[in-house]
């Protein structure tokens, strides 16, 4: 069972389920922190799989509130919104992480995520080629070597 | 012997001039600089419209080769490749330009481009909201104010 | 009256005040989006004053959800936490905004905020001098010229 | 005539050597490079402890002047100024190093420094949570994992 | 009519294929992708030596087109232009890679390249000291530690 | 015992004041703040001309110590060192300022400086074209438009 790093298991889950709506765009719904976290965990697991969960777990003993906010806010409130498909969000995310630089651990998570939500190996490689025009060759190459690691782990590398 | 990673050793060099196709992924076609530039201009005009052309024109008296390379390489060789749709390329590009920071002039061009290739106003706003998770609020806000300018010029702002 | 850019005035404010707790660290409290937004607006106004509010207002017709999240999440959930004083948060913030680059509009808001929460003109100038060691002279100078504008507006410049 | 902005025109040049103080803000004191370096080493050792010294030592055979300037200028001239407390300087520094990205070695030194000058583990974690609002989640997470390493070495991690 | 900014309107299109030169600044030469790649490999090997080649080889099974473009465009079209000497290009490159941050693998390649095209160990160290003024101490130190590794491999470290 | 990495242990402290030279690399010379500032102003005026001086003047009423340090340290201690020519320093600087982003005011100063110390208009344009490979097209274009402004002011634009 996955639990919020700030609280541990909720002993009484019935407290927090009064109206049952889950829409991120609802203005009216009262939600507990725990409910927002649980919604985020569902999205996180669907998008990032185990690699996202490992990051949250690793934050638990140093900055549990950061782990909570990544899940409850980043995934529960933003990722879950219906206005942009999960596949589209990963395209934006690959662009951002390549441009920021120094985000290789996050690129690892999100190249996996991109594959999880339907982008192909070739589309990801093409997107990273495209970053060369805007971010320059070094950042495009750095991101591509993360893709090489992920593709290798998932047996997606070309014979060369 | 060093070989192009896209082709491997060319056992028969005559293959390379046989077919006369102009595909960006063809290894074989001889093209002049002018041809590559003209192909790029077609793509540039289709994607960026007038705002892209204005940038190229403005470079002519200071760094014409940079203008040439933006068109002939950026658009003629990279943008034109079939592996990622124009809409997908703009999603990656919006993410990169927001993350890089200080690229408001390019965001202006590419928010226009995003609208030109089929992204809606609401998808662009959602993509920029999504950048807040990865780039932080200041860069997300800066990019959104460029979108406000572009949406205003194209009469796409919400009544508020 | 300040309203959430995503919803407008709440016609029945009594809906959202069932348990009355406001602690950001409470795991148990159910809060509506509107309540989180209202708590954030209080913090925003206390810290940033009018300049923060103007940013939120300007987002209303282009990306109201971004305005909501800056307030409800950035200020309502993070800024309001008791673990670091408002003055300390502004010191971290001045460092970040100077280092990011291209965030002059946000530096304007947060140099005002720094003065609002008790940092003196001389401490702010000293903090920006300190950034030269880590961010280099150009970013330190860019941030300092924003401080010059803010100090001038608040009649805090030295006679020179 | 061009004059130092900190002093204005010096009408009587003899003033400048009158008092013999060694304050960093004094315009008047003649100091040797070695004296400035020694003052910097005192500050470096007080703030950064051994981890700072190791950086300087490692620079000796490749770029000794850089090591000299980090000490004599960064610590001797800037850090030592009385206008901002050592604790306040570390708050600004944590913000900058997180925002710059790719500065994990320096974050290691300065999270240690932050603890040395009086910031608590919880304040540092809160400051790094705060960075998520301005720098985005990836940089906040990267900085937090450096804090996890430092806290672990100093036996400051929470039981989890 | 849209024209290449490097050439202006071509009044006589037959001019463009008349001379058969291969100069990078010629508008007229038809070249195959393979020819552009081969020209780039020559420049790459001259400038970067084996370390550049290793990067291209490593890209072959994940993103071969990126490897092609680094060589054919970056080296074949840009590096090979006569307007700036190879030594001057490395000075610009060392400045960029230090400023970008997170480009340690590329700094390794280009500090080797700088030595290959005639910059001395002391000039490189001086250039990296110079970056401290503009990029701040952390990035200058990070770049210098890459230089330390390269100088060590080439037995260029000072006795200390 | 901790020693300055540029000198090693000083066995005889009297050595340090023997020669009275003012070389930046001398360990031995006592200099006042005012002397260091004056040396820096000479270098600043030689390299940057009036545009550098205007920056220092503008800092006087908001952060005079930052103005002092730009001059006394940046120019007096670093720029003035003999290990790299002024022309070479500007090549590194153009690369850094383009890569950092958001440093258009500093690019204005330093493109002027580059012309002042012997780089030609065409070499500067070529250097900025070269940045496209490492920093991407947007930053190369932003820097080039600053060059266009400076070249225009100095009547160096091509007829187009």
Predicted local confidence at residue C50, as pLDDT: 87
Take residue D104 and report the two structure tokens written for it. Answer: 């994990």
Indicate yes or no: CB of F5 within 8 angstroms of CB of D73: no
Say how far apart CA C17 and CA C159 lie, in whole Å. 51
- D26 burial type by CB count under 10 A (0-12 exposed, 13-18 middle, 19+ buried): middle
List beta partners, residue E31. Answer: B31
CA nearest D25: which of E16, E157, A142, F68?
A: F68
Say how far apart CA F104 and CA F86 lie, in whole Å. 21
SS3 content of chain E, % helix, strand, coil (to 5): 65, 0, 30
Say how far apart CA E94 and CA A113 lie, in whole Å. 34
Mean per-residue pLDDT for A14-24?
32
Mean per-residue pLDDT for C80-107?
97
Q: Are E5 and B57 in contact (CB under 8 A)?
A: yes
How much is the mean pLDDT over chain E? 86
Mean per-residue pLDDT for E12-16?
31
| Integer Rg of chain C from CA | 17
Q: Residue E129: closest CA among chain C residues belongs to which residue?
A: C136
Q: Are F128 and F148 in contact (CB under 8 A)?
A: no
pLDDT at B1 over 50: no
pLDDT at F43 over 90: yes
How much is the mean pLDDT over chain B? 86
Straight-line distance from the first to the last Cα atom of chain D, in angstroms, rounded to the nearest whole number: 65
Indicate yes or no: CB of B68 within 8 angstroms of CB of E5: yes
What are the φ and ψ backbone dihedral angles of E77, each rounded to 5 degrees?
Answer: -95, -40
Q: Could you report the per-residue pLDDT of B50-68, keeping only the tens digit for each?
A: 888 999 999 999 999 999 9
pLDDT band at B31 (very low <50, low <70, confident <90, very high): confident
Predicted local confidence at residue F121, as pLDDT: 98
Distance (Å) from the C-alpha of residue E60 to the closest C-alpha of chain A?
7
Say how far apart CA E110 and CA B126 lie, in whole Å. 40
Mean per-residue pLDDT for B127-142?
98
Say how far apart CA D89 and CA C114 lie, in whole Å. 15
Q: Could you report the per-residue pLDDT of A127-159, keeping only the tens digit for each?
A: 999 999 999 999 999 999 999 999 999 999 976
Q: Are F139 and F131 in contact (CB under 8 A)?
A: yes
pLDDT at F2 over 60: no
pLDDT at F14 over 70: no
Mean per-residue pLDDT for F1-8?
59
Q: Which of E80, E134, E136 to mutate to test the interface with F (most CBs of F within 10 A)?
A: E134
User: Contacts of residue F59 in chain C, CB cutoff 8 Å?
Assistant: 141, 144, 148
Mean per-residue pLDDT for D52-56?
92
Predicted local confidence at residue F31, as pLDDT: 82
Q: Residue E64: closest CA among chain A residues belongs to which residue?
A: A125
User: Contacts of residue E101 in chain A, CB cutoff 8 Å?
Assistant: 101-102
Mean per-residue pLDDT for E63-76?
97
Percent of chain B with pLDDT over 90: 73
Q: Could you report the per-residue pLDDT of D92-118, keeping only the tens digit for each?
A: 999 999 999 999 999 999 999 999 999
Distance (Å) from the C-alpha of residue E109 to the closest C-alpha of chain B?
18
Distance (Å) from the C-alpha of residue D131 to the closest C-alpha of chain B?
8
More confident residue, C23 or E102: E102
Indicate yes or no: CB of E66 within 8 angstroms of CB of A159: no
Predicted local confidence at residue B100, as pLDDT: 98
User: Contacts of residue B158 in chain C, CB cutoff 8 Å?
Assistant: 60-62, 64
pLDDT at E93 over 90: yes
Instruction: Say yes or no: D101 contacts chain B, CB-CB below 8 A.
Output: no
What are the φ and ψ backbone dihedral angles of D59, each rounded to 5 degrees?
Answer: -80, -15
- Grouping H, G, I as helix, E, B as strand and the rest as coil, residue E32 is strand
pLDDT at F153 over 70: yes
Predicted local confidence at residue A51, as pLDDT: 86
CA nearest D3: which of A110, B33, F40?
A: F40
Q: Could you report the per-residue pLDDT of B69-95, keeping only the tens digit for each?
A: 999 999 999 998 999 999 999 999 999
Mean per-residue pLDDT for F77-95?
97
Q: What pTM does this model have?
A: 0.89
Indicate yes or no: CB of B62 within 8 angstroms of CB of F141: no
Say how far apart CA C101 and CA F106 lie, in whole Å. 13
pLDDT at F98 over 60: yes
Predicted local confidence at residue D160, as pLDDT: 52
**Among A1-10, D57-66, F39-48, F132-141, whose mean pLDDT is lowest?**
A1-10
Predicted local confidence at residue C15, as pLDDT: 28
User: Contacts of residue C128 in chain F, CB cutoff 8 Å?
Assistant: 63, 66
pLDDT band at C51 (very low <50, low <70, confident <90, very high): confident
Predicted local confidence at residue F49, as pLDDT: 87
What pairing do the DSSP bridges indicate for beta strands B30-32 and D30-32?
Answer: unpaired
Say how far apart CA C34 and CA E95 lie, in whole Å. 49
Take residue E127 and report the two structure tokens written for it. Answer: 């250039």
pLDDT at E137 over 90: yes
CA nearest E94: which of E132, E42, E59?
A: E132
Q: Are B24 and B77 in contact (CB under 8 A)?
A: yes
C-alpha count within 13 angstroms, C-beta hemisphere, residue F27: 20
How much is the mean pLDDT over chain F? 86
Which chains have at least 3 CB atom pairs separated by less than 8 Å from chain A?
B, C, D, E, F
Q: Write out the H or E segment, with its range, that includes residue E31.
A: strand E30-32
Which chains have at least 3 CB atom pairs separated by less than 8 Å from chain E?
A, B, C, D, F
Tell how many helices (H) and how many strands (E) occur in chain B.
7, 1
Take residue B82 and report the two structure tokens written for it. Answer: 């079939």
Instruction: Say yes or no: E101 contacts chain A, CB-CB below 8 A.
Output: yes
Say how far apart CA B30 and CA B22 lie, in whole Å. 8
List beta partners, residue E30. Answer: B32
Take residue D19 and report the two structure tokens written for it. Answer: 């008092």
Q: Residue E69: closest CA among chain F residues belongs to which residue?
A: F133
- C78 burial type by CB count under 10 A (0-12 exposed, 13-18 middle, 19+ buried): buried
pLDDT at E9 over 60: no
Instruction: Say yes or no: A99 contacts chain D, CB-CB below 8 A.
Output: no
Predicted local confidence at residue A81, as pLDDT: 96
pLDDT band at D17 (very low <50, low <70, confident <90, very high): very low
Mean per-residue pLDDT for F55-81?
96
Say how far apart CA D21 and CA D30 lie, in whole Å. 9
Indicate yes or no: CB of C136 within 8 angstroms of CB of E133: yes
Q: Could you report the per-residue pLDDT of F120-151, keeping only the tens digit for each?
A: 999 999 999 999 999 999 999 999 999 999 99
Predicted local confidence at residue B26, as pLDDT: 44
Distance (Å) from the C-alpha of residue B120 to the closest C-alpha of chain E?
29
pLDDT at F19 over 80: no
Say how far apart CA D133 and CA A70 lie, in whole Å. 11
Q: How many residues are present in chain F?
A: 160
pLDDT band at E6 (very low <50, low <70, confident <90, very high): confident
Predicted local confidence at residue C49, as pLDDT: 87
Take residue F112 and report the two structure tokens written for it. Answer: 């002027």
Q: Residue C55: closest CA among chain B residues belongs to which residue?
A: B141
pLDDT at B137 over 60: yes
Say how far apart CA D116 and CA D87 lie, in whole Å. 9
pLDDT band at E11 (very low <50, low <70, confident <90, very high): very low
Percent of chain C with pLDDT over 90: 73
CA D58 from chain center: how many Å?
18
- Give Cα separations from F70 to A56, C61, F67 (angstroms): 43, 43, 5
Q: Residue D5: closest CA among chain C residues belongs to which residue?
A: C160
Distance (Å) from the C-alpha of residue B102 to the closest C-alpha of chain D?
15
Q: Residue D21: closest CA among chain F residues belongs to which residue?
A: F32
Instruction: Say yes or no: A138 contacts chain E, CB-CB below 8 A.
Output: yes
Instruction: Say yes or no: A156 contacts chain F, CB-CB below 8 A.
Output: no
Mean per-residue pLDDT for C24-35?
68
What are the φ and ψ backbone dihedral angles of D31, each rounded to 5 degrees?
Answer: -135, 145
Q: Could you report the per-residue pLDDT of A78-127, keeping only the tens digit for each?
A: 998 999 999 999 999 999 999 999 999 999 999 999 999 999 999 999 99
Q: Where are the alpha helices (DSSP H) in chain F?
A: 33-47, 50-59, 64-69, 86-100, 104-116, 121-135, 137-153
Say how far apart CA B32 and CA B34 lie, in whole Å. 5
Mean per-residue pLDDT for B108-120?
97
- B14 burial type by CB count under 10 A (0-12 exposed, 13-18 middle, 19+ buried): exposed
List beta partners, residue F31. Answer: D31
Predicted local confidence at residue E18, as pLDDT: 28
Distance (Å) from the C-alpha of residue D33 to the closest C-alpha of chain F?
5
What pairing do the DSSP bridges indicate for beta strands F30-32 and B30-32?
Answer: unpaired
Indicate yes or no: CB of D136 within 8 angstroms of CB of B134: yes
Predicted local confidence at residue D158, as pLDDT: 77
Facing residue for D27 by CB, picked from F6, F34, F67: F34
Indicate yes or no: CB of D66 within 8 angstroms of CB of E132: yes
Predicted local confidence at residue A12, as pLDDT: 34
pLDDT band at B160 (very low <50, low <70, confident <90, very high): low
Q: Residue C65: closest CA among chain A residues belongs to which residue?
A: A25
pLDDT band at C16 (very low <50, low <70, confident <90, very high): very low
- E11 burial type by CB count under 10 A (0-12 exposed, 13-18 middle, 19+ buried): exposed
Predicted local confidence at residue C3, as pLDDT: 57
Q: Which residues, other chains included, contact B113 with Cβ-Cβ below 8 Å and sequence gap of 6+?
A: B47, B48, B49, B52, B90, B93
Indicate yes or no: CB of A129 within 8 angstroms of CB of B97: no
Instruction: Say yes or no: C18 contacts chain E, CB-CB below 8 A.
Output: no
Q: What angle do CA B105, B110, B116 make, to 5 degrees?
A: 140
Q: Residue D109: closest CA among chain E residues belongs to which residue?
A: E138
List beta partners, residue D32. Answer: F30
Predicted local confidence at residue D77, as pLDDT: 95
Predicted local confidence at residue D159, as pLDDT: 67
**Among C51-55, E142-146, F105-109, F131-135, whose mean pLDDT is lowest?**
C51-55
What are the φ and ψ backbone dihedral angles of A37, each rounded to 5 degrees?
Answer: -65, -45
């Amino acid at each position: 069972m996955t639990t919020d790093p700030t609280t541990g298991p909720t002993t009484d889950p019935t407290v927090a389920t009064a109206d049952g709506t889950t829409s991120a765009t609802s203005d009216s719904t009262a939600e507990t922190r725990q409910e927002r976290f649980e919604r985020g965990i569902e999205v996180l697991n669907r998008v990032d799989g185990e690699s996202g969960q490992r990051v949250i777990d690793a934050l638990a003993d140093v900055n549990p509130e950061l782990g909570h906010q990544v899940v409850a806010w980043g995934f529960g409130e933003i990722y879950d919104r219906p206005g942009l498909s999960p596949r589209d969000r990963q395209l934006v995310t690959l662009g951002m992480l390549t441009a920021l630089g120094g985000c290789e651990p996050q690129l690892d998570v999100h190249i996996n995520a991109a594959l999880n939500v339907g982008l192909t190996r070739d589309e990801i490689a093409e997107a990273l080629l495209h970053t060369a025009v805007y971010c320059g060759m070094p950042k495009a190459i750095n991101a591509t070597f993360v893709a090489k690691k992920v593709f290798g782990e998932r047996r997606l590398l070309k014979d060369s």
